[in-house]
Chain A
Amino acid sequence: MEEAKSRLRRLSGFEIQWRVVNALVYRELRRRVSDVQGGFLAVLLEPVGQIAVWAALRLIIRQASSVNNLNIWLFLATGVILFNLYARVAAHGLTTMEANKALFFYRRVKPIDTVLAKAIEELGLYSLAAIIVFGLVWAYLYNLVLQNLPLLVISFVLMALLAVASSLLSLVGSYYFPNLKQVLSWINRALYLASGVIYAPMDIPQFARDFLVWNPLLQCIELARKALSIDYQIPSQVTLSYPAGFALVYLSLALWCYTNNEKVLIRR
């Protein structure tokens, strides 16, 4: 039997977190591979199914193959993929304590690590879904002009950061208010409708648009669409600085809330 060699090294907090998040991403990806129902295919099929339904409705009802100068498939793909990324990570905070209870036997694993790992994993998988959908559009319709790749990447990252903040707040909130789960599922549905997933903000009345542009999720989705086509019209209030600033403040608040409650969360 080969012996375990060197002594365990005491690590810095950052080193520990880096290792733990890496390991959790590995564990979750392996779990998805072995779990057919929640596997990789489900991640790809879920947004594709939604895109197909909304595209079919639009094509039948309005007979429009583009929305506000952006190909209908690209328009819906950005909305559905980005929103699903947000929703899945945000919802994770509600269930992570119960689902990962056993993991906290390893003292290096903290609740926040499971949220970060989930965000990285979903960001990777939904980015892959986006690449596949964009690739299909390009292959079949020759209609993909990637106008601003950095802006597209930033939109995805900002969406993931907003999701991490929501997830951390749900994590803490659900400890104090166990019924939060039902409330949040309604909030998520309302956000789906308020984030411009299936409509362009420029196509709705001015008074509604002026109200909805305060939603940072809508701003991220609009920026991603703008990144795909320079001809896509976005409201003047949509700027990169708004969702970036919002994400910074929101994430700081969520981290403050989490760090003040971490001990309470892991207390048995």
Chain B
Amino acid sequence: MIRVNSLTKSYLYKGKRKRVLDDLSFEIAGDESIAVIGANGAGKSTLLQLLGGIDVPDRGKIQCDGTISWPVGIEGGFQGSLTGRENVTFVSMIYGERHEIDDRIKFVEDFAELGIYFDRPFKTYSSGMKSRLSFGLSMAFPFDYYLIDEITAAGDQKFREKSKRLLLDRKKTSNFLMVDHNLWGLKIHCNRAFLLESGRITEYANVQDAINIHTKTLLAELPPESDVSNAA
């Protein structure tokens, strides 16, 4: 269970404080996966970062009785001069039990399919290889909640299919807090939705309802088709 009370977060932008999340309060039950929907800049990623403990709120409290992942697929935590294996060992030493470290490394090695590149410096990897390694690493640890931010857009067709299967497998034992512009992916994995607008959350018991309202709002902001073609 995750319980959030009066969560507020703002950023300094051009000398002024811009409030991104405004006094949010909600609860997520132990068996729920949540789709976080909203326009660009609505604060979806900020909310995930606060839940993941990567950032701290201006105000408010987050309580969780389980373990929460880092944002899945983030490549920033890798040291460029270290090999894939060394980077994975580093994270495994922090999150894994000592006797399980070799198993975690093997899991990532098998999933990422980097071959000899697994023992080469991370900075020599292509973007696809980086995505495979970082996603594999995130999935190597059985968290109670996974924070998933736009992951289904990364990598080639094979990687996306593998990732989808692995996510479905993880879904049997864990819950997701998911941000994705691929709304179809949200429907598969989530059973409830939060629609973020102007720093506030509206909760929906049905993901499809939230998607419909969100899509309608976005499309309503578009100028008429004739105006777009004239501008072009």
Q: Give A residues with C-beta under 8 Å from B.
A: 1-10, 16, 19-20, 22-24, 26-27, 30-31, 34-35, 101-109, 263, 266-268
Contacts and interface: CB of A to CB of B under 8 A. Distances in A.
Contacts of B52: 107
A101 B79 CA distance: 11
Contact of B76 (A5, A31, A105): A105
Contacts of A23: 90-91, 93-94
Most chain B beta carbons < 10 A, residue from A10, A20, A27, A104: A27
B209 interface: no
B94 A109 contact: yes
A23 B93 CA distance: 6
A7 B56 contact: no
A268 B49 contact: yes
Contacts of A108: 94-95
B100 interface: yes
Contact of B93 (A7, A26, A266): A26
Nearest to A262: B56
Interface stretch (B31-39, B139-147, B214-222): B139-147
Interface stretch (B21-29, B102-110, B177-185): B102-110
A95 B28 CA distance: 38
A139 B157 CA distance: 64
A31 B94 contact: no
Interface of B: 11, 49, 52-56, 66-68, 70-71, 74, 76-79, 81-82, 86, 89-91, 93-95, 97, 100, 103-104, 106-107, 110-111, 121, 139-144, 173
A208 to B, nearest CB: 46
Contacts of B141: 4, 8
Contacts, number: 95
Contacts of A20: 94
Contacts of B49: 268
Contact of A4 (B56, B68, B90, B107): B107
Contact of B81 (A5, A35, A266): A35
Contact of B94 (A4, A34, A106): A106
Contact of A105 (B70, B89, B100, B111): B70
A103 B77 contact: yes
A6 B89 contact: no
Contact of A102 (B71, B78, B106, B143): B78
B93 A19 contact: yes
B94 A105 contact: no
Nearest to A27: B90
Given A103-B77, A106-B94, A268-B49, A1 B107 contact: yes
Contacts of B76: 101-102, 105
B143 A8 contact: yes
Contacts of B90: 23-24, 26-27
Nearest to B100: A5
B55 A268 contact: yes
Contacts of B110: 1-2
Contacts of B82: 27, 30-31, 34
A27 B82 CA distance: 8
